[in-house]
Amino acid sequence: MSQDASGNDQNCKLNEGNFRVLGLDLHNPVFFFSAFVILAFVFIALLFQTDAKAFFGWLRPELTSRFDWLLMISANIFVVFCLALIVSPWGGVRLGGAGARPAYSYTGWFAMLFAAGMGIGLMFFGVLEPVHHFQKPPLGIDANSVEVARNVGMAAAIFHWGLHPWAIYALVGLTLAYVHFNRGLPLTIRSAFHPLLGDKVWGWPGHIIDVLAVFATIFGLATSLGFGAGQIAAGLNYLFDTPDTNLTRVLLIAGITSIAVVSVVAGIEAGVKRLSEFNILLAIVLLVFVISVGPTLVIASGFFTNVIGYITYLPALSNWVGRDDVEFVHDWTTFYWAWWIAWSPFVGMFIARISYGRTIREFLTCVLIIPTLVSILWLSTFGGTAVAQVINDGYSGVTGTITHWRPELSLFKMLEPLPFGSVASLLAIALVTTFFITSSDSGSLVIDTITAGGNLNPPVAQRVFWAITEGLVAIALLLGGGLAALQAASISMGVPFALILLAMCVSLVVALLEDSATNLTKSVTVGETHSTKKLD
């Protein structure tokens, strides 16, 4: 890692206010303010559950209707920005300097970034969303045309899991990796703005940025953990008739969080890395199983058709002006963009930490393009199989029989008619559980790094505290409003953090321009010295 003297000085500036006692290393005021507000939220949400449910029920539609334009414009900018960097001369810049080499293999690196990025989400929505959009296509498409409805429905699902979310993650991850490895700054969100704000980031402007990052990460994670707990509870009820109640979901969150704490104590190598690789192995097994025993030809041809459909409908789906399908934009797209933005400090910082030695072009290609293709394959397999089943069950447009699946049960309903469907459902439950653990573990590491002033090896006790806190927030949201509360929490943090990410784009360009000018000056100076020596 490129940690020069100035970088060490910046670490000192950030850490000099840390509160150190009993082996703890707590940044003042980021840790104390964040912890106080989050724990107060948990207490109030649990104490006043009825009022919390009413509040979150109002908050979600209010935010999505008022700030849809901001989220849509921002997400489009992030995609264009990342694609432009891939083909720019800066693409060859290596994170950590010219002599840096990657710390992880492609297998380990990709497994960790994908597991952290959207593991639980794809498990929950991978079947649900293609079926829903097939039955109620966006963009004013006529649902009576089965083939058109299938194409636009799949394109709409891929839209939410393709370039846009990964561009959000890539922007945050690349900016943090660059300022940390190439400029020697602490690995915390505020460091991304040093090119714009200078040393002001070590004061209150930086404190505010880091606190917002903690809030966004906590609530973004809680949304995913709530979805995961709901899907596991529904799967267990479906297979074994166990009670599918809030008590069951609370117990699941508590139990799986306890397992995550064990992974936290084990550390990145023994915990997150191994679990992430195990996740990917389970996901590949489940994917290959469905491709093999499901409608194989439909899936194979569907992949290429879906890539073309995604590209074809991408401009229309990305547009926010004059849309007739406002319900789709508000219920799906703006929620997703806010959710991804809320997740971005967590996923971005985690990806940055494990991406030493990659070039900017390599980083963006692997974080942006390859996961998009994997998401298309996943949705084509699981969503494509489910849509084929709905069609075979008698769907014939809006006047036909439409299969209604509970959101949490959609994956298990799709697996049911397949050979060994119950075994596959058990595998799916195990996969959601391990994604839950890695998300909680990775999130704890990131939040702890932020609240410890950029300390890359914060005390384990602090990571345990944040892992438990994530579980408590998920429980509070679940009991204080259910699905609507989980979605509202992400949106409430995604909207303000979108502005921070827009500023981050500018900050990264400023850093690259400054460093390019510095390197050019050094090259000219060296060249002149060399010429003078030759003349002498």
pLDDT at 535 exceeding the cut of 70: no
pLDDT digits (tens, 9 = 90+) for 294-318: 999 999 999 999 999 999 999 999 9
- The pTM score is 0.88
Beta bridge partners of 26: 19
Please compute the mean of the pLDDT values over residues 34-49 and round it to a whole number: 90
To which H or E segment does residue 25 belong?
A: strand 24-26
**Secondary structure letter of residue 181 according to DSSP:** I
Is 90 exceeded by the pLDDT of residue 94?
yes
Q: In the predicted model, is pLDDT for residue 446 greater than 60?
A: yes
Q: What is the mean pLDDT of residues 337-342?
A: 90
Residue 66 has pLDDT above 60, yes or no: yes
pLDDT at 225: 83
What's the pLDDT at 16?
Answer: 61
Alpha-helix residue ranges (DSSP H) falling in 178-203? 194-197
Residues 85 and 91 sit within 8 Å (Cβ to Cβ):
yes
Q: Pick 392 or 115 by higher pLDDT.
A: 392
User: What is the third-level CATH fold of 5-81+116-516?
Assistant: Amino acid/polyamine transporter I (1.20.1740)
Residue 370 has pLDDT above 80, yes or no: yes
pLDDT at res. 307: 97
Cα–Cα distance, 343 to 493 (Å, whole number): 9
Q: Give residue 118's pLDDT.
A: 60
Q: What is the pLDDT of residues 266-300, one digit of tens each?
A: 765 555 667 777 888 888 999 999 999 999 999 99
What average pLDDT does this structure show over 57-65? 84
The Cα-based distances of 340 to 65, 118, 165, 487 in angstroms read: 18, 9, 6, 11
Distance CA 52, CA 55 (A): 5
Confidence of residue 402 (pLDDT cuts 50, 70, 90): very low
Longest alpha-carbon distance in the chain: 90
> What's the mean per-residue pLDDT of the chain?
85
Least confident of 41-50, 283-292, 453-462: 453-462
- pLDDT band per the 50, 70, 90 thresholds, residue 51: confident
pLDDT score at 156: 97
Q: In this structure, what DSSP letter does residue 94 have?
A: B
Q: Is the pLDDT of residue 357 over 50?
A: yes
Confidence at residue 56, expressed as pLDDT on a 0 to 100 scale: 83
Q: How far apart are CA 248 and CA 241, in angstroms?
A: 12
Average the pLDDT over 61-65 and give the result: 84
356-377 burial, b at 16+ Cβ within 10 Å, e below that, comes to bbbbbbbbbbbbbbebbebbbb
pLDDT (tens digit per residue) in 209-249: 999 999 988 888 888 888 888 899 999 999 999 998 989 99
Is the pLDDT at 83 greater than 50? The verdict is yes
Share of the chain above pLDDT 70, in %: 88
Half-sphere exposure of 204 (CA within 13 A, CB side): 0
pLDDT of residue 398: 38
Radius of gyration of the chain (CA): 23
Question: What percentage of the chain exceeds 90 in pLDDT?
Answer: 49
At residue 428, does pLDDT exceed 50? yes
User: Residue 30 to residues 89, 101, 129: CA-CA distances in angstroms?
Assistant: 37, 33, 38
Mean pLDDT of 183-205: 93
Q: What is the DSSP string of 213-243?
A: HHHHHHHHHHHHHHHHHHHHHHHHHHHH---
Per-residue pLDDT for 15 more than 90?
A: no
Boundaries of every domain in the chain: 5-81+116-516
Q: Is the pLDDT of residue 486 over 80?
A: no
Of 480 and 319, more confident: 319
User: Which H or E element spans position 154?
Assistant: helix 146-161
Q: Can you tell me the mean pLDDT for 405-431?
A: 91
pLDDT of 330 higher than 80: yes
